[in-house]
Chain A
């Protein structure tokens, strides 16, 4: 690419090159401003959340270690206790369980779209799954509360709310992410690999299981981690079905809480600058740091791409 630009320069006469150079600069500056804006926005957000989140420890003197490992959350009593472990536990268990439910479904859907019924799959199933991504989380939460919670209440011990209900709602929400990436990965698979496998007499399932799945594994994992990241940050839908008790639950059907639901429930009720409010920003900071971790995992996985 560099070379072609150089070639272009040498072919041009000087007077013709001048407007081109000016034009070049317009393009460079315009796109650079755009990207600069993006980077500045992100940095200001990170700075902002970090400065608010850290003030719990600096201004209010809450011990960071206690916050992460404590299991008692009583922000409004005389000697407040801020133990966020139940939230962290809730966030992880719900989003990972959601991924465990959604990952096989997403993979099967992708296989269906790419291998089994490309015509029907691409024209019908894929748009339909992508549609799931467009349904607002409020609606998901409400459907969860009206359908899944009563169903679980009848089927299992407990009140229907809890990790299981939250994970189920989330699994539907992250299905599009996982399916889209899995579909892309499978369809990018070089035809030669598959044909080679078929030529050796392998069945379709053997080809999928032994060739397609291992080769596309890093991308599949990327999709799953991306799904977990999305589930981790989802707030309104989870808050409606998880119960929000700040305790580590004993079963999948017992009320518990996540980082996001704790933040949404109390952020508006607490006064800015109070310790009760600052500690919620600390939860947001944890949430953000987790986002970084997920992105790092994804980049690590992408680095291992076999294609």
Chain B
């Protein structure tokens, strides 16, 4: 039947066209555009950072038509691996590279901290409290306390909605809110996506979880931490400790286009615009700094 041959032809044609397309892209990147900057950038990694990277990338491309930026998710671990192996130009991560990669591999990467994300413990609206101390949180997440009345709430079983142990959000929460690593308790729920965590916390009686500030709203109770509210000012002046940097790693020093993109994200326009809109805190606002080991300096 001729159809098969036609199809086979179509297939070869597509493949060869596709191959041409690929070459063409490479040629473009070496600079035929009138704009001074050119290149193609692949940014892979953290899904939490994807929104910011994507929005800024679109704006950046509008200004620099010679540059093409692709932003992909896949998770912090994927992002760090891809950038360390040279498959991506930028690796987006919620955590310091040292926490995921071997020391010598992490040493090849250059950290660009593009924003600060603060997290807050949240609970279902029915538990009857509006804040917990650090010790109370530790007791809850290690399973010592299993009923809300033991921490001043009403008589109701505590349901933990946690993140998987590999999650960057969980690493931040454990490090700065609890100060200790915890195990996955029997009966606890582990979900990776903020949307699902929020849905479960808002619907499950007695639920407790934690979310990035951008996800907080009226459907859940945001709990104070040691009496301090999770606000931008409290995070900026260092009185609210549960926050982390969002990182964009490059392997060695970035090339011109990547550097321009990273500079653009660090510019006031983005930092006071998209960063704030998406619920992050601009790095420039922070009055405290923190290194990979977690030491805070003014």
A residues near B (Cβ < 8 Å) are 30, 73-77, 145, 149-150, 153, 159-161, 240, 243-247, 249-250, 254-255, 257, 265-274, 276-277
Most buried by A among B85, B164, B204: B164
Cβ of B218 < 8 Å from any Cβ of A?
A: no
Whether the Cβ atoms of B164 and A266 lie closer than 8 Å is yes
Q: Which of B47, B78, B166 contacts A272 (CB 8 A)?
A: B78
Cβ of B136 < 8 Å from any Cβ of A?
A: no
A-chain residues with CB within 8 Å of residue B84 when the two chains form the complex:
271
Query: CB-defined interface of B61-80 with A at 8 Å, one 1/0 digit per residue?
Result: 00000000000011111101
Q: Which of A161, A243, A271 contacts B100 (CB 8 A)?
A: A271
Most buried by B among A255, A257, A267, A269: A269
A49 to chain B: closest CB distance in Å?
Answer: 17
Cβ of B103 < 8 Å from any Cβ of A?
A: no
Residue of A nearest to B82 (CB): A272
B-chain residues with CB within 8 Å of residue A145 when the two chains form the complex:
196, 199-200
Q: Which of A266, A267, A271 contacts B165 (CB 8 A)?
A: A266
A278 to chain B: closest CB distance in Å?
Answer: 12
A76 and B171 alpha carbons, distance in the complex (Å): 9
Residue of B nearest to A81 (CB): B183
Q: List 8 A-B contacts (CB under 8 A).
A: A73-B184, A76-B165, A145-B199, A159-B204, A244-B164, A268-B76, A270-B100, A271-B101
Also in contact, A267 and B196, with CB within 8 A (given A245-B186, A245-B187, A246-B184): no
A250 and B186 alpha carbons, distance in the complex (Å): 9
Cβ of B194 < 8 Å from any Cβ of A?
A: no
Q: Which of B73, B77, B190 contacts A245 (CB 8 A)?
A: B190
B residues near A (Cβ < 8 Å) are 8, 47, 73-78, 80-81, 84-85, 100-102, 159, 164-168, 171, 181, 183-192, 196, 199-200, 203-205, 207
Whether the Cβ atoms of B181 and A244 lie closer than 8 Å is no
Whether the Cβ atoms of B189 and A265 lie closer than 8 Å is no
A74 and B77 alpha carbons, distance in the complex (Å): 18
B242 to chain A: closest CB distance in Å?
Answer: 18
Whether the Cβ atoms of B167 and A269 lie closer than 8 Å is yes
Also in contact, A74 and B73, with CB within 8 A (given A243-B190, A269-B192, A271-B100): no
Whether the Cβ atoms of B78 and A268 lie closer than 8 Å is yes
A161 and B187 alpha carbons, distance in the complex (Å): 10
A253 to chain B: closest CB distance in Å?
Answer: 10
Whether the Cβ atoms of A244 and B77 lie closer than 8 Å is no
Whether the Cβ atoms of B101 and A274 lie closer than 8 Å is yes
Whether the Cβ atoms of B81 and A76 lie closer than 8 Å is no
Also in contact, A269 and B76, with CB within 8 A (given A240-B196, A244-B190, A245-B190): yes
B-chain residues with CB within 8 Å of residue A246 when the two chains form the complex:
184, 190
B-chain residues with CB within 8 Å of residue A269 when the two chains form the complex:
75-77, 164, 166-168, 192
Most buried by B among A161, A247, A254, A255: A255
Whether the Cβ atoms of A271 and B77 lie closer than 8 Å is yes
Most buried by B among A30, A161, A250, A268: A268
Whether the Cβ atoms of B101 and A159 lie closer than 8 Å is no
Also in contact, A153 and B204, with CB within 8 A (given A76-B166, A270-B166): yes
Whether the Cβ atoms of B75 and A244 lie closer than 8 Å is no
Known: A255-B190, A272-B81. 15 other contacts (CB 8 A): A75-B166, A150-B203, A245-B188, A247-B185, A247-B186, A265-B192, A266-B165, A267-B78, A268-B47, A268-B76, A269-B75, A269-B164, A270-B75, A272-B77, A274-B101
Also in contact, A74 and B186, with CB within 8 A (given A271-B77, A272-B77, A273-B81): no
A73 and B181 alpha carbons, distance in the complex (Å): 14
Q: Which 8 A-B pairs have the closest CB atoms?
A: A268-B75, A244-B190, A269-B166, A266-B166, A272-B81, A247-B186, A270-B77, A265-B164
Residue of A nearest to B95 (CB): A269
Q: Which of A77, A150, A265, A271 contacts B190 (CB 8 A)?
A: A265
Residue of A nearest to B47 (CB): A268
Q: Which of B81, B188, B205 contacts A271 (CB 8 A)?
A: B81
Residue of B nearest to A240 (CB): B196
Whether the Cβ atoms of A276 and B166 lie closer than 8 Å is yes
Residue of B nearest to A269 (CB): B166
A-chain residues with CB within 8 Å of residue B189 when the two chains form the complex:
159, 161, 243-245, 255
B131 to chain A: closest CB distance in Å?
Answer: 24
A-chain residues with CB within 8 Å of residue B164 when the two chains form the complex:
244, 265-266, 269
A117 and B237 alpha carbons, distance in the complex (Å): 73
Whether the Cβ atoms of A277 and B190 lie closer than 8 Å is no
A254 and B183 alpha carbons, distance in the complex (Å): 17
A266 and B76 alpha carbons, distance in the complex (Å): 10
A268 and B167 alpha carbons, distance in the complex (Å): 9
A137 to chain B: closest CB distance in Å?
Answer: 15
